[in-house]
Amino acid sequence: MSEDKKKEIDKKELKAKIEKATERLSLLERQAREAKIPILITFDGYSAAGKGLQINRLIQAMDPRGFDVYAGGKGGEEAAMHPFLWNYAIKTPADGRIAIFDTSWYRFVQKDLFDGKTKESQLDDAFYDICAFEQQLIDSGMVLIKLFLSISQKEQKRRFEKLEGSKETSWRVNSNDWKRNAQFEKFEKINQNMIERSENKEAPWVIIDANDGDQAGLAIMLAVAERLEKALADRAKGKKAGVYKGPVPEKDQYKYGILSKVDLTKTLEKSEYKEKLAKLQKKLEKLHSELYRQRIPVVLCFEGWDAAGKGGAIKRLTSHMDPRGYKVCPTPAPNSVEKAHHYMWRFWNNVPKDGHVAIYDRTWYGRVMVERIEGFCTEDDWRRAYKEINDFEAHLSHSGAVVLKFWIDIDKDEQEKRFNERMINPAKQWKITDEDWRNREKWDQYEEAVNEMIENTDTELAPWIVVEGNSKYYARIKVLKTVVKALEEKIKEVEKADK
């Protein structure tokens, strides 16, 4: 048989295999959708490895109503002003949907590293954050498929030249691409290191030899099909993929904890309050401008008993700040879109950009309070959440953010007094509902949960501040003082680093 003849037969065989794989994938995609499995597929690798072509091939097998392709994963200016995982976290798929990234968060530790935008000193944190992020997605039941498309230095050069040869495609190749081709070995090492440091047996890297486009296409389809098949089989068996489990405490370990030691007798006179408030608000106004200039993001979290005075404290905090530089993010019960996503997703959407302040009125800590107590998630879910939350906050902090968390504390009598006031005052009646009274009955359960929460999530990067709240004046001043001090310290730190 002649060489040509053989090639032709091989090509025909390959085509038949691709057709079969397409059919198989098509069926699996539908089944995964019906089983409400969220799927995230990332394409990383070398420039000109044919990602666009391969993604298009893959999606031809899928119903267009089931997936989203995110291109330009490199982000642009919005992404550059956020923690590097942000641009992807906000695009993670809802239950039953597929998200395909043509570049993923790995860009930060790959091309951006080669190009000098990411510093070597950032790598440890970055890999920690990446691994933690992926584990969270996996533990929530998401199927994460990481594809790495590899081509040789010679083939890449050939493709660059071909692209540059036509005016329609020459814009696709830039000087950084050529630089990485010239220093191929250096870039290869970065890739190897990246793959080693981010291995996860539940989401293993799939290395695709992309020198031959058709072969690569088949390999990708088979890899995706295999993972979907496994996920469907696991679901059918009710098996949860390698869920990280948090530590389980002794019985009653948190019955008496940090909350039982709060000195709620602390107070402040009105005249002193007014004087201090004016001074601190003036300071904060200046600091707010300064942190905008220095591009420091700030995350302020408010939790506390119903009627503890979160709203009032937030009002005093913001009343002299420029509204174009801060955002108050309330946390009502999740809507249907939010419910279909990872529980952190809706909070990711409000992560502040550099120089901005996000104030969360109730937060992701709902996971380990109301969701735990009302049974809106499983015990595994909320036990896992302590670490997930710490990891999320660490990522914010690694990205330069100030993160502060306030628990505003009052005692049961004070709450009853305030509830009754609300019932009587027509201007405040809307603030009090039957649910508030029902929650009150679960005071002890909540106290135990809060003790455990603070114990497990009070970190150096994102500390809890317990605020004595029986006196509103005292509480508001303590919040303002704490914020002012933290901002002053951060600004000093940044100024020092800039020198």
Q: How far is the CB of 419 from a copy of itself (least distance, A)?
A: 18
Cα distance between residue 403 and residue 400, in whole Å:
9
Cα distance between residue 480 and residue 318, in whole Å:
10
Contact region with a copy of itself (CB under 8 A), list: 53-61, 106-114, 250-258, 433-441 = 53-61
Cα distance between residue 329 and residue 91, in whole Å:
19
Contact region with a copy of itself (CB under 8 A), list: 7-15, 62-70, 263-271, 397-405 = 62-70
Which amino acid would we find at residue 421? E
Which amino acid would we find at residue 384? R
Residue 433 CB coordination number (10 Å): 12
Cα distance between residue 480 and residue 321, in whole Å:
12
Residue 16 tokens read as 């038949």
Q: How far is the CB of 434 from a copy of itself (least distance, A)?
A: 17
Longest CA–CA span in the chain (Å) reads 100
Residue 407 CB coordination number (10 Å): 24
Cα angle: 403, vertex 406, 411; to 5 degrees? 170
User: Comparing C-alpha atoms, which of 100, 91, 72, 75 is closest to residue 220?
Assistant: 100
Q: Identify which of residues 266 and 362 has a Cβ nearer to a copy of itself in the complex.
A: 362
User: Can residue 26 be called a binding residue for a copy of itself (CB under 8 A)?
Assistant: yes
- Residues in Cβ contact with 4 at an 8 Å cutoff, skipping those fewer than 6 apart: none
Q: Report which DSSP code applies to 393.
A: H
Contact region with a copy of itself (CB under 8 A), list: 61-69, 120-128, 252-260, 458-466 = 61-69
Applying the rule CB under 8 A, the residues between 97 and 156 that interact with a copy of itself are 100, 102
User: Can residue 349 be called a binding residue for a copy of itself (CB under 8 A)?
Assistant: no
Among 116, 251, 430, 498, binds a copy of itself (CB under 8 A): 430
Cα distance between residue 473 and residue 85, in whole Å:
39
Q: Identify which of residues 186 and 286 has a Cβ nearer to a copy of itself in the complex.
A: 286
Q: Report which DSSP code applies to 470.
A: S
User: Can residue 77 be called a binding residue for a copy of itself (CB under 8 A)?
Assistant: yes
Cα distance between residue 255 and residue 53, in whole Å:
58
Q: Is 11 helix (H, G, I), strand (E, B) or coil?
A: helix
User: Can residue 370 be called a binding residue for a copy of itself (CB under 8 A)?
Assistant: no
Q: How far is the CB of 392 from a copy of itself (least distance, A)?
A: 23
CA 202 remoteness from chain centre = 19
**How many residues in the shown chain lie near a copy of itself by CB under 8 A?**
51
User: Can residue 417 be called a binding residue for a copy of itself (CB under 8 A)?
Assistant: no
Among 9, 16, 71, 182, binds a copy of itself (CB under 8 A): 71
Q: Identify which of residues 58 and 206 has a Cβ nearer to a copy of itself in the complex.
A: 58
Q: How far is the CB of 229 from a copy of itself (least distance, A)?
A: 17
Give the x/- contact pattern for a copy of itself in 78-97, rule: CB under 8 A.
x-------------------
Applying the rule CB under 8 A, the residues between 207 and 266 that interact with a copy of itself are none
Residue 201 CB coordination number (10 Å): 7
User: Comparing C-alpha atoms, which of 481, 431, 75 is closest to residue 283?
Assistant: 481
Cα distance between residue 164 and residue 210, in whole Å:
20
User: Can residue 165 be called a binding residue for a copy of itself (CB under 8 A)?
Assistant: no
Applying the rule CB under 8 A, the residues between 273 and 302 that interact with a copy of itself are 286, 289-290, 293
Asked if 406 contacts 313 with a C-beta cutoff of 8 angstroms, the reply is: yes
Up-side HSE of residue 419: CA atoms within 13 Å toward CB?
Answer: 17
Contact region with a copy of itself (CB under 8 A), list: 109-117, 139-147, 232-240, 317-325 = 317-325
Among 74, 91, 327, 481, binds a copy of itself (CB under 8 A): 327
Among 14, 17, 35, 52, binds a copy of itself (CB under 8 A): 52
Contact region with a copy of itself (CB under 8 A), list: 111-119, 216-224, 271-279, 327-335 = 327-335
Give the x/- contact pattern for a copy of itself in 350-369, rule: CB under 8 A.
-----------x--------
Q: How far is the CB of 241 from a copy of itself (least distance, A)?
A: 26
Q: How far is the CB of 327 from a copy of itself (least distance, A)?
A: 7
Among 315, 442, 485, 492, binds a copy of itself (CB under 8 A): 315
Residue 402 tokens read as 């100030």
Q: How far is the CB of 146 from a copy of itself (least distance, A)?
A: 18
Cα 219 to Cα 17, 122, 150, 154, 444, distances in angstroms: 10, 34, 12, 22, 56
Cα distance between residue 163 and residue 176, in whole Å:
15
Q: Phi-psi category of 206—alpha, beta or left, where left has phi over 0 and alpha has psi -120 to 50?
A: beta
Asked if 45 contacts 210 with a C-beta cutoff of 8 angstroms, the reply is: yes
Contact region with a copy of itself (CB under 8 A), list: 71-79, 209-217, 219-227, 391-399 = 71-79
Phi, psi angle pair for 226, to nearest 5°: -60, -45
User: Can residue 55 be called a binding residue for a copy of itself (CB under 8 A)?
Assistant: yes
User: Can residue 311 be called a binding residue for a copy of itself (CB under 8 A)?
Assistant: yes
Contact region with a copy of itself (CB under 8 A), list: 20-28, 375-383, 445-453, 471-479 = 20-28
Among 14, 17, 35, 69, binds a copy of itself (CB under 8 A): 69
Place of tokens 């809890």: 464
User: Can residue 186 be called a binding residue for a copy of itself (CB under 8 A)?
Assistant: no
Residues that bind a copy of itself (CB under 8 A): 23, 26-27, 30, 52-53, 55-56, 59-60, 63-65, 68-69, 71-72, 76-78, 100, 102, 167-169, 171, 286, 289-290, 293, 311, 314-315, 318-325, 327-328, 330, 332, 335-337, 361, 427, 430
